[in-house]
């Protein structure tokens, strides 16, 4: 079920628990700003989730409330992960679902990184 992205941050959400090390993940990258790990239900040959290290529900929350250093560090981390996965030459797609219409299910801001094959049209028709 898509979330109500205007609710307060829920410290018990699954990505918060992954960040705290309470639940395992297949980690691909970590720095002071971000953690990246494989999606549990991949929808492309490469499907990595990149999450910021901070309590932000959504893109809306992150873009409005996060400090500049975290936003910059997060964006650099996403780019680093994409290059590290070998996707910078063939290309890739980034996706951030936001709120109900965006279909966001996990209430901790995250970017999906898809790659490894031509990804087709931007949206299902």
Is there a contact between 106 and 16 (Cβ–Cβ < 8 Å)? no
State how far the Cα of 84 lies from the Cα of 37, in Å rounded to an integer: 13
- Residue from 7, 40, 69, 94 touching ligand 5GP (CB under 6 A): that is 40
- Please tell me whether residue 104 binds ligand 5GP under the rule CB under 6 A: yes
Two structure tokens written together for 28: 């691909």
- Of 39-47, 53-61, 63-71, 85-93, the segment contacting ligand 5GP by CB under 6 A is 39-47
Looking at the DSSP bridge assignments, the partners of residue 89 are none
- Please tell me whether residue 39 binds ligand 5GP under the rule CB under 6 A: yes
Nearest residue (CB) to ligand 5GP, 40 versus 94:
40
- Please tell me whether residue 94 binds ligand 5GP under the rule CB under 6 A: no
The residues in 49-88 that bind ligand 5GP, with binding defined as CB under 6 A, are: 49
HSE of 4, CA atoms in CB hemisphere, 13 A: 3
- Please tell me whether residue 97 binds ligand 5GP under the rule CB under 6 A: yes
CA dihedral 107, 15, 77, 53 (to 10 degrees): 90
Residue 96: count other Cβ atoms within 10 Å of its Cβ: 16
| H runs (alpha helix) in 25-95 | 59-65, 68-84
- Please tell me whether residue 106 binds ligand 5GP under the rule CB under 6 A: yes
Residue 112 bears catalytic tag: no
Active-site annotation, residues: 110
Binding stretches for ligand 5GP (CB under 6 A): 14, 25, 37-41, 49, 97, 103-106
């Amino acid at each position: 079920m898509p979330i109500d992205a205007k609710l307060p941050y829920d410290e018990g959400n699954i990505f918060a628990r992954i960040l705290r090390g309470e639940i395992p993940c297949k980690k691909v990258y970590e720095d002071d700003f971000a953690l990246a790990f494989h999606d549990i239900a991949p929808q492309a040959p490469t499907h990595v989730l990149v999450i910021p290290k901070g309590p932000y529900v959504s893109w809306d929350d992150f873009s409005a409330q996060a400090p500049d250093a975290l936003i910059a560090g997060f964006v650099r981390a996403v780019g680093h992960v994409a290059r590290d996965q070998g996707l910078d030459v063939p290309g890739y797609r980034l996706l951030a679902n936001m709120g109900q219409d965006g279909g966001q299910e996990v209430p901790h801001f995250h970017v999906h990184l898809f790659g490894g094959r031509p990804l087709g049209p931007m949206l299902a028709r």
